[in-house]
Amino acid sequence: MSSYGTQALAHLFGILAIILLLVWLLDFREGIDYDSDNGFRVFNVHPLMMFMGFIFLGGEAILSFQTIPSQRQTKKFFHMMLHLISIILGIVGLCAAFKFHNMMGFPNVYSLHSWIGIGTVCLSGLQWLVGFVTFMFPRAADPTRARVVPWHIAGGRALLFMAVCAAETGLMEKYGFLRAKSNLQPHQRESYLINFTGLAILLFGVFVDLSVSIRRNSV
């Protein structure tokens, strides 16, 4: 499969995951509203922002060097801006989770999902800062940039899969929570919807990574 084919599949699964996530949150889980008095509507901001930020926009930022038909410096600008927006959305998503926990009286940062998620947010911020200083402004010397590039690429790919892992564990944690609450028992169709959403997210990450691998091996 060519790099173009993996890019197309990455875009396809990314868009599919957004659609499935919105259907789940809007049709099955009471909607999305950060300022609501309903804690569950506040919480629903969390999965949407985390996926849109760290996974979808993060993946699109990785693909931007291949999909934007422009000069390298312009591609670098879009790459950095997409990652910056993804970090901002991720922070909003984290705030929604903390707000929900405080509204409901739940403890914070107690699960593997939360540990992976917060680790991903912190490391993504560090990755962006190092990348900005090294490649954009004030820019490191050419030999230094050449040494940093492989680590920057590997770090970006690792962070994408950390975000995917956080999303998958988050979906299962949420599903387990719903199963534990009899009044929030998910319908069988909702169970399938959650599973397909998780698969779409995973496949988006896989095809983003494959696209990068194929492109680097063909250079």
- Please spell the DSSP secondary structure of 83-150, one letter per residue: HHHHHHHHHHHHHHHHHHHHHHTPPSS-SHHHHHHHHHHHHHHHHHHHHIIIIISS---HHHHHHHHH
To the question of pTM greater than 0.85 for the whole model, the response is yes
pLDDT of amino acid 102: 94
- Cβ-proximal residues to 46 (8 Å cutoff; 6+ apart), any chain: 93, 94, 96, 97, 100
Q: Across residues 30-39, what is the average pLDDT? A: 93
For 3, the 3-state DSSP assignment is helix
Band of pLDDT at residue 183, cut at 50, 70 and 90 = low
CB proximity list for 41: less than 8 A, separation 6 or greater: 30, 31, 32, 33
The average pLDDT across 129-142 equals: 91
- 151 pLDDT band, cuts 50/70/90, is very high
CA dist 109 and 122 (Å) reads 14
State mean pLDDT over 102-110. Answer: 91
Confidence at residue 83, expressed as pLDDT on a 0 to 100 scale: 94
The pLDDT of residue 219 is above 50: no
Residue 22 to residue 172: CA distance in whole angstroms: 17
pLDDT of residue 184 exceeding 70: no
CATH class of 3-218: mainly alpha
Please give the average per-residue pLDDT across 143-163, as a whole number: 93
Given pLDDT bands bounded at 50, 70 and 90, which one contains residue 186?
Answer: low
Q: Is the pLDDT of residue 215 over 80?
A: no
Segment 76-104 shows an average pLDDT of 94
**Is the confidence at residue 67, as pLDDT, over 80?**
no
With a cut of 50, say whether residue 108 has pLDDT above it: yes
Segment among 10-14, 18-22, 160-164, 189-193 with least mean pLDDT: 189-193
Reported as a pLDDT band with limits 50, 70 and 90, residue 199 is very high
